Amino acid sequence: MNPARLLLSTIAGVAAALIAFSAVYVRGDLGGVFRFLHERGVAKRLAAAGATPEQVTAAKARALAAAQTFADPALASRLIPLELLVGLLVAALVWWLFGQRVARAESGQERPDVQERMVMRFAHRHGGHFTLRDLMERSPLSSEQAREVTARMLERGQLRREGEGYTLL
């Protein structure tokens, strides 16, 4: 098992579950959230400006009243299984997509344009000149992939052979 795949899937699943919980908690009322944030900002600005305690208390009460118009913690708590299911589905999707990508890379079926971009970037980082040995050692391409992509790029005129190395055109 690939630890990066597990970690990425876990993070995506937990994040999706939290987002689902948040969306249900506010019943999808983003406008209400912004009203609450505005009222809370007013209360903070009043306190910072030196308003009387009664004015600050009234502003905080308005912020609380705004929050109570859209927040529904009971609904969010009742729907935790659904929110966790959403997180699980997202985690499974990320696991599957990551697995597809790894399988494609390991089987050598990587899209040719991706491999060519890797070679172009490698060549640019090395001043436009590189050897096949450098490419195989310092890039994620296997030796077979490196040979194939350099041959394709030579055929199309993107590279020029100079002794044992290649020059980017």
Q: What is the DSSP string of 55-83?
A: HHHHHHHHHHHHHHTT--HHHHHHTHHHH
Q: Using the predicted structure, report yes or no on whether residue 62 has a pLDDT greater than 90.
A: yes
Among 132, 141, 143, CA closest to 112: 141
Q: Domain of 133: which CATH number?
A: 1.10.10
* CA distances from residue 23 to 9, 27, 29, 58, 84 in whole angstroms, order as listed: 21, 6, 8, 28, 13
Helices 80-106 and 3-25 meet at what angle, rounded to 10? 150
If asked whether residues 88 and 138 sit together in one domain, one would say no
If asked whether residues 82 and 138 sit together in one domain, one would say no
If asked whether residues 82 and 49 sit together in one domain, one would say yes
What confidence category does residue 110 fall into, taking pLDDT thresholds of 50, 70 and 90?
low
If asked whether residues 74 and 153 sit together in one domain, one would say no
* Residue 124 lies in domain: 112-168
Report the greatest alpha carbon distance in the chain.
84
Residues 74 and 157: their CA atoms lie apart, in Å, by 65
Q: Using the predicted structure, report yes or no on whether residue 108 has a pLDDT greater than 80.
A: no
Phi, psi values for residue 127, rounded to 5°: 75, 20
Q: What is the pTM of this model?
A: 0.61
If asked whether residues 44 and 85 sit together in one domain, one would say yes
Q: Give pLDDT tens digits for 123-146.
A: 999 999 999 999 888 888 888 888
If asked whether residues 86 and 56 sit together in one domain, one would say yes
Domain boundary among 82, 106, 130: 106
